[in-house]
Amino acid sequence: MSSLLLRIASRLILVLELGFALVFLFRGHNQPGGGFIGALIAASALSVYGLAFRAEPVRRLLFFHPVTYMGAGILLSAGSGFLAVFSWEPYMTARWWGGWIGTPLLFDFGVFLTVLGMTMSVILTLIERRDGFSSLASLFRQERRD
Amino acid sequence: MRERVIPWLWLIPLSLTVFFGGMWRRLGGDGVWSFRVPWAPDLGLFFSLRVDALSLVFLFLITGIGTLVFLYASGYLRASPRRVPFFFFLTLFMLSMIGLVASDHLLLLFVFWEMTSLTSFLLIGFRSDQGTARRGASQALLVTSVGGLCLLAGFILLAQAGGSWEFSELLTRGEAIRGSPFYPAILGLILLGAFTKSAQVPFHFWLPNAMAAPTPVSAYLHSATMVKAGVYLVARLHPALGATELWHILLLLIGSVTAVLGPLMALREQDLKRLLAYSTIGALGLLMMLLGLGSESAMQAAMVYLIVHSLYKAALFMVAGAVNQKTGTRNVRALENLMQVMPLTAIAAILAALSMAGFPPLIGFMGKEMIYQAKLDSIHSSWLVGAAGVFANCLMVAIAFIVGINPFVGRIKKLPQVSKEVGFSMWVGPVILALVGLGIGILQPSSVMNLLASASSVAWGASADFAIKPWHGFGWVFILSLLTLAVGVLMFWLRRPLRYLIRRALDWEALEPERLYFISLKVLQFGSDMVTRSLQGGRLSHYVFGMGLGLLLLWGSAVAELSFVPSLSSFQSPGLEELAISSFILTALVALAIRRGRIFSVVMMGSLGAGVALLYITHSAPDVGIAQVLVETLSVILVLFLVAGLPQVVARTRPHHRAIRILVSCGLAICMTALSLLTLLRDPNVDPVSRFFVEKSVSEAHGANVVNVILVDFRAFDTLAEITVLALAALATLLLLKPMIRKTPGRSDR
């Protein structure tokens, strides 16, 4: 199922889209983008890479288990709100430094990590299923006949 | 490393005791320390703490006895491999208990109340390999949390009636609350919560079963502190809810029944810890009864007896644990002459038992004198209540002899496992508690007396400071005390025939309300089984149908409620690109409806979504458009894999089912269309929510992308909840998918 074309293209796509994802994440507050969208871009790039090379290289690339990303993301998002608490303001009051970096960006980064971890954990598990690829291929063949 | 800290953990409660001691010195009699931080001020929610004399009495119990229990537990669990989690739970319990008695806000108190239930569950079930521990733990949790729910309902009504969530205001509005039509419901619900927590009849059965916990837990939670939370609550709310007919009747009735039945049931037992547990039930009943008497002297007696009971009961539990560890048994008939082997423990046990029996000059004597005086004084007390109290005290004397004195004296008997005295950490706790009981009894230090007097005046609600009179001269009270001791000793002498008599006199098994608990558990299980079976039959089509029906109801009601009729004249003629995109979407739709084939359908759904995303982008919602494209891409990949894994069989549906499904689908389509039209042609008079966000986005949140600003700033809390749900859903999916990988034989893919 993984053709030469897909393999070559997926590498290019991976590098490009991961860069894109970061750009979208950081510019999200003022232009289209944000943590959610950034994570989806990164996840789709990694998924295509996974479709071409199977799950193992993607896992190596991620380094941590995807579930770790989810945990870290929720911690980061929930934790970013605590900064305000230390100066007796309600939880999640935004804090800004220099008009660009602020707790909302941290929060968004948490969203990014969570969504990335969530998508990748499910997709990688699906790719790893022993009969995942073969049954998909047989379904393709069958439907082409119909 | 972590385990080397454990023998020193008792320093935490000790330093807290010292801290509260300093606070008491600074506050004096009717001083109040308060602390308030807004939590969700718009909802009237504040993290507000308030410490007065009544709280301080409990705080000293929690931290003072806590110190000794921590010390004792470090010796008791020396060999346990799970010491670290144990001490974690124990510390957590201590902190939540401190929060419970220090909180000023009803909801805050409720949170801490439930936290003590939870930590109690974890501690009772600590030996999770034992069935009794697991059952005892879940029983305690279920009973106390059902009570907790009642309590929450009562609190809500109380806050409605009193116009405030905080004790500091509620306690001054007693008139209004007692006059409210909800008063009986408020009182009933709150008392239900207090009764379940404080193990009053008929909810008492969880306490003896909780004895499956390690002994330090029984000494701490199930005699000295947690079970007293109900007593605390009733005493705390006395100025707001007390002094009505209903209050007296409920508390006196339940209290005296518990006070008599507890020790009676105790006499059936031969296990040290179960004996102690039933006598704790009796003591808690006595406390409730005193609170129900509704006089100043009764309130003072309650405060003194609270201290008395905590001191001797915690000591006796620690002794029971030490005896069990050294001899291997807790059966009172097998234990004799332990004085020879463990003299220090024996001294502590005998002193504690004498205090329990009420011998002068121990603190227990003081407590009993005051109880009798209160009963003689009270106008609400009938002779029946008085007699019940005296009878309960006689039984307590007998139990004190059985538990605390008999095992340590007498002839030499063969013990299952004779050994020498327990280690320092295990005898020092009971010895200190017993000596404190003796010291307070003899010296009657003014600081302790003042604290108890101020606490009872806080609970009484009047600011008048009255002094505690522990000695009432050689009057009626003294005669009653002597009579109690004499009858109690006689009962101890006749304990064997008495036990036989009690066991035979009543059919205890049939009376035991625990049966009701098991029956309701069965009913609950059966009911949830039925619901689960009918709702989750395992057919995907059923689930989809159910969701469709639910959506139809929601949307249908939304459409039906709208009175505004849109005029189609406001439509503009579509541009070229819109026409192109629409025809693309329509083509995909028609293809989806006509052709079968799973992969084809998935791909068509994807292109449909992409078309909609294009529409978003052309209509200046690039964020939503991008997200839509990405979601569609990923879901095509995901669904392809899922579809490939599904079985190839297609379930047959009956014609009339099919008809219903088609009807629901058409209804959904109509509602959706109507709703989208209505949203597009919005009533110009209605102010959309988005205007606020659009206006404030740059000025308040420093962001020009409104969608993103809403997500990460204005509505960040919602987003946090959403990503949490997302992560949980992903974890559940992983758990569902994982077994499929492991089960498949043959080579692995990795």
pLDDT in tens, B662-675: 899 999 998 888 88
The B residues from 692 to 731 touching A (CB cutoff 8 Å) are 701-705, 707-709, 711-713, 716-717, 719-720, 723-724, 726-727, 729-731
From the centroid of its chain, how far is CA B163? 25
- Whether the per-residue pLDDT at A91 is higher than 90: the answer is no
Amino acid at B187: L
Instruction: Dig out the tokens for B687 from the structure.
Output: 């102010």
Q: For residues A100-126, give the mean pLDDT.
A: 89
Sign for the pseudo-dihedral over CA of B381, B383, B389, B393? positive
Q: Find the CB nearest B716 among A71, A81, A127.
A: A81
Q: Residues B221, B168: contact at Cβ < 8 Å?
A: no
Is A108 close to B744, i.e. CB distance below 8 A?
no
The span from the CA of B669 to the CA of B213, in Å, is 59
Of all residues in chain A, the percent with pLDDT exceeding 70 is: 93
The B residues from 622 to 651 touching A (CB cutoff 8 Å) are 622-623, 626-627, 630-631, 633-634, 637-638, 640-645
Q: Which residue of B has its CA nearest to A132?
A: B641
Give B578→chain A minimum CA distance, Å.
Answer: 22
Give A9→chain B minimum CA distance, Å.
Answer: 17
pLDDT for B203-212, tens place per residue?
999 999 999 9
Q: Would you state the pLDDT for residue B384?
A: 82
Q: Residues B334, B235: contact at Cβ < 8 Å?
A: no
Q: For residues B645-649, give the mean pLDDT.
A: 69
From the centroid of its chain, how far is CA B706? 42
Q: Would you state the pLDDT for residue B105?
A: 94
Instruction: Dig out the tokens for B660 from the structure.
Output: 């219903």
pLDDT category at B749 given cuts 50, 70, 90 is: very low
Boundaries of domain holding A67:
4-145
Q: A101-102 and B33-40 as β-strands: parallel, antiparallel, unpaired? A: unpaired
Q: Look at B533 and B102; give whichever has higher pLDDT.
A: B102
pLDDT category at B115 given cuts 50, 70, 90 is: very high
Give B93→chain A minimum CA distance, Å.
Answer: 25
Neighbours of B453 (CB within 10 A): 23
Q: Would you state the pLDDT for residue A87?
A: 77
Please, how many CA atoms are within 13 Å of residue B192, restricted to the half-sphere of its CB? 17
- Whether the per-residue pLDDT at B291 is higher than 80: the answer is yes
Is B708 close to A28, i.e. CB distance below 8 A?
yes
Q: Residues B488, B396: contact at Cβ < 8 Å?
A: yes
The span from the CA of B459 to the CA of B298, in Å, is 11
Q: Residues B154, B170: contact at Cβ < 8 Å?
A: no
Is B737 close to A108, i.e. CB distance below 8 A?
no
pLDDT for B329-369, tens place per residue?
888 888 877 888 888 999 999 999 999 999 888 899 888 88
Q: Which chain A residues contact residue B40 at CB under 8 A? A: 90
The listed range with the strongest mean pLDDT (B351-355, B591-595, B625-629) is: B351-355
pLDDT category at A88 given cuts 50, 70, 90 is: confident
- Whether the per-residue pLDDT at A139 is higher than 90: the answer is no
Q: Would you state the pLDDT for residue B276?
A: 94
Q: Is A56 an 8 Å CB contact of chain B?
A: yes
Give A88→chain B minimum CA distance, Å.
Answer: 8
Residue B33, H or E segment: strand B33-40
Give A53→chain B minimum CA distance, Å.
Answer: 11
Residue pointed to by tokens 């014609």: B655
Is B750 close to A56, i.e. CB distance below 8 A?
yes
Task: Give me the number of domains chain A comprises.
Answer: 1
Strand, helix or coil for residue B363: helix
Give A4→chain B minimum CA distance, Å.
Answer: 19
Of all residues in chain B, the percent with pLDDT exceeding 70 is: 91
Instruction: Dig out the tokens for B575 from the structure.
Output: 């541009």
Is B744 close to A30, i.e. CB distance below 8 A?
no
Is A121 close to B627, i.e. CB distance below 8 A?
no
Instruction: Dig out the tokens for A118 from the structure.
Output: 């969530």
Q: Find the CB nearest B705 among A31, A55, A123.
A: A31
pLDDT for B138-181, tens place per residue?
999 999 999 999 999 999 999 999 989 999 899 988 889 999 99
Written as one string, the DSSP assignment of B677-743 is HHHHT--TTSPPTHHHHHHHHHHHH--S-HHHHIIIIITHHHHHHHHHHHHHHHHHHHHHHHHHHHH
- Whether the per-residue pLDDT at B743 is higher than 50: the answer is no
Q: For residues A133-145, give the mean pLDDT.
A: 73
Instruction: Dig out the tokens for B62 from the structure.
Output: 């929690």
Q: Would you state the pLDDT for residue B739?
A: 64
Q: Is A101 an 8 Å CB contact of chain B?
A: no
Is A136 close to B741, i.e. CB distance below 8 A?
no
pLDDT for B482-502, tens place per residue?
899 999 999 998 888 888 888
- Whether the per-residue pLDDT at A146 is higher than 80: the answer is no
Q: Which residue of B has its CA nearest to A51?
A: B637
- B87: CB partners within 8 A, 6+ apart: B6, B9, B70, B73
Residue pointed to by tokens 């102010």: B687
Instruction: Dig out the tokens for B739 from the structure.
Output: 């077994």
Classify burial at B284, counting beta carbons within 10 Å of its beta carbon; exposed 0-12, middle 13-18, buried 19 or more. Answer: buried
Q: Residues A106, A76: contact at Cβ < 8 Å?
A: yes
Is A90 close to B645, i.e. CB distance below 8 A?
no
Please state which of the ranges B110-119, B270-279, B301-310, B512-521 shows the lowest mean pLDDT.
B512-521
Is B642 close to A126, i.e. CB distance below 8 A?
yes
Is A36 close to B730, i.e. CB distance below 8 A?
no
Q: For residues B455-478, give the mean pLDDT.
A: 75
Q: Residues A34, A28: contact at Cβ < 8 Å?
A: yes
- Whether the per-residue pLDDT at B464 is higher than 60: the answer is no
- Whether the per-residue pLDDT at B710 is higher than 50: the answer is yes
Q: Find the CB nearest A132 among B627, B633, B644.
A: B644
Q: Which chain A residues contact residue B737 at CB under 8 A? A: 122, 125-126, 129
Q: What is the 3-state secondary structure (H, E, C) of A73-116?
A: HHHHHHHHCHHHHCCCCCCCCCCEECCCEEHHHHHHHHHHHHHH
Is A122 close to B638, i.e. CB distance below 8 A?
yes
Q: Would you state the pLDDT for residue A115?
A: 93
- Whether the per-residue pLDDT at B649 is higher than 80: the answer is no
Is A130 close to B638, i.e. CB distance below 8 A?
no
Q: Which chain B residues contact residue A102 at CB under 8 A? A: 702
Q: For residues B303-327, give the mean pLDDT.
A: 93
Q: Which residue of A has its CA nearest to B729?
A: A118
Please, how many CA atoms are within 13 Å of residue B61, restricted to the half-sphere of its CB? 34
Written as one string, the DSSP assignment of B151-165 is HHHHHHHHHHHHT-S
Q: Is B547 an 8 Å CB contact of chain A?
A: no
- B235: CB partners within 8 A, 6+ apart: B54, B291, B299, B302, B459
Q: Which chain A residues contact residue B750 at CB under 8 A? A: 55-56, 128
Q: For residues B581-603, give the mean pLDDT.
A: 88
Q: Residues A33, B708: contact at Cβ < 8 Å?
A: yes
CB pairs A-B closer than 8 Å? 179
* A102 strand-pairing partners: A96
Q: Would you state the pLDDT for residue B750?
A: 38
Give A1→chain B minimum CA distance, Å.
Answer: 13
Q: Which residue of B has its CA nearest to A74?
A: B724
- B396: CB partners within 8 A, 6+ apart: B263, B279, B282, B283, B356, B357, B358, B488
Q: Find the CB nearest A139 among B598, B720, B727.
A: B598
